[in-house]
Amino acid sequence: MTPSGQDTPDDHDAHARDLLSRMTLEEKVGQLFVLHVYGHHASDPDRADIELNERELGVRTAAEAVAKYRPGGLIYFGWAHNTRDPRQLATLSNDVQRVAHDTSPGVPLLLSVDQEHGVVARIGAPATLLPGAMALGAGGAADDVREAARIAGAELRALGIRQNYAPSADVNVNPANPVIGVRSFGAGPDAVATSVTAQIEGYRDAGVAPAVKHFPGHGDTETDSHSALPHIHHSREQWEELDAPPFRAALATGVDVVMTAHIVVPALDPALDPATLSYPVVTGILREQLGHRGVVVTDSLSMQGVRTKYGDDRVAVLAIKAGVDQLLHPPQPELAYNAVLQAVRDGELTEARIDESVLRILRLKHKLGLFEQAYTTLETVDATVGSAAHLAAADRIAERTTTLLRNEDGLLPLSPGTHGRLLVLGADPVSPSGTTGPPTTVLATALTELGFTATALSTGTEPSPEAVDKALAEAASGHDAVIVTTYDVTDGDRQHALVTALTAAPGGPPVITVSVRTPHDVPRLPGVRAALAAYSWTDVELRAAARVLAGRVRPVGRLPVPVPRPDDPGQVLYPIGYGLSYEPYATPGPQA
């Protein structure tokens, strides 16, 4: 103990080693697993969730899962019905922690979530929704990136969650990347490194452990590792120049957790094993060459990318042999758990190797203060989650991310006096957290609150010919401008047909697009008079786009990725750093 009576890192290490020495092999192996469970309640979930738990985990409830497997942690998902509302989630966290405390060896759980914000958000409103990585990259302000992570971390901690699987350190150099895209801060290694460092600092300030991902870099692929096994064809020199810098920067901060990717990089491992299962990648490069001494967690073991070459039992064993510590979200927990136990009993894995990982996990739990206080309170939830200060900060940050890419003849900003009647139509992708409204409705509502008369008309990501006809008729019925939300437009798709029809209508109102995912939509729609990139379709980014459209704030976002010509990918149309601007109106906007 220090003179002030506070435990030191040496005290924590001594306690972790003592605890490890008293744990059974079964208890140690349990600490390696981060499991999913179904239901909003630890012991009384809905009947459908009981059935899912029985089918996938061999137990009825979250409480039974903790008692049976004694896992190191749990991961929360919306689709697993864990996240109904903040008070419920905090209560679930406290209840499973009590079960862990009362079950030998009494080690607190490391509760986690994949809450990147932007297009990946498992917990929605009334929690604060924040801009995602590419939007923050467009904002270009490290202070905003840090503040967003601090807010996100504070709210997660209030919910009992101490580990977040963010930030993404992937450098998105491939516009066709289907799995990373706007989840990356951008295409410049140094800029991504700066943002990654800032997010790590923000989460650390909030007392939450970030997990920098997806090592060794998932930015240059056209394959989604959720459904297949991507190959990254960078040479070792290209990897050092493009992919490694953000991870090196993260490790320089002493980041506690690194998440592996289910990708093959032949230049790093000629055996063509997924990086998650690769000793040369995890131990050889990450630990020995780059010097990571903390925890290594797999990406979800339910993803097809890691399951294409080996069975689910072998995947768990091979990941530990590669140097991984935490096995995240295995699709068959009992099978994986028993496979690791059997590998130790058969001598394929040594108990000493298991001890290495468990000791790292226990140290991390000590560092996060879980042995001192694993619980939260409803008072903390009420004071922290979705607080007025957090919501206001999210709005301010989002305003600095919206990027103006086209503004012919100075159409923007709009004013109620000249463009008072607006039609907002287009794609309405489902909210990533499932708690916010359709983007067209959110945008129309925000514009109406700013003094316009805005009508929402959802036409979807694949508008039918009938939907296009309806949109044309509505646009011609006295509207002064049409705003279209676009989502991953491709040449000749139905969204392209909709916008082309609107811009070609004789005497029709001017058309403005707001891309709610990738900015690469913009050059595919040449007839559009003005175009914004919002990078996501969550409320906070759509409200910010509305304020930019209405001239309440000055657009200052700058592209963090290059946008090439669709017909000639080698020719960049909008380079990194591109973005138009204009001076905002006085508030309220000018009247006729």
**Which residues are the active-site residues?**
226, 299
CB 169 within 8 A of CB 247: yes
In the chain, the largest separation of any two C-alpha atoms, in whole Å, equals 82
CB 130 within 8 A of CB 544: no
CB 156 within 8 A of CB 164: yes
Helix, strand, or coil here: 400?
A: coil
Q: Tell me which H or E stretch contains 472.
A: helix 465-475
CB 63 within 8 A of CB 99: yes
Helix, strand, or coil here: 168?
A: strand
Chain mean position to CA 403:
21
Helix, strand, or coil here: 239?
A: helix
Question: H/E/C letters for each residue in 246-289?
Answer: HHHHHHHCCCCEEEECCCECCCCCCCCCCHHHCHHHHHHHHHHH
CB 61 within 8 A of CB 53: yes
> What separation, in Å, do the N-terminal and C-terminal C-alpha atoms of the chain show?
72
Distance, CA of 323 to CA of 280 (rounded, Å): 9
Distance, CA of 125 to CA of 366 (rounded, Å): 31
Q: What are phi and psi of 404, to 5 degrees?
A: -95, 115
Helix, strand, or coil here: 59?
A: coil
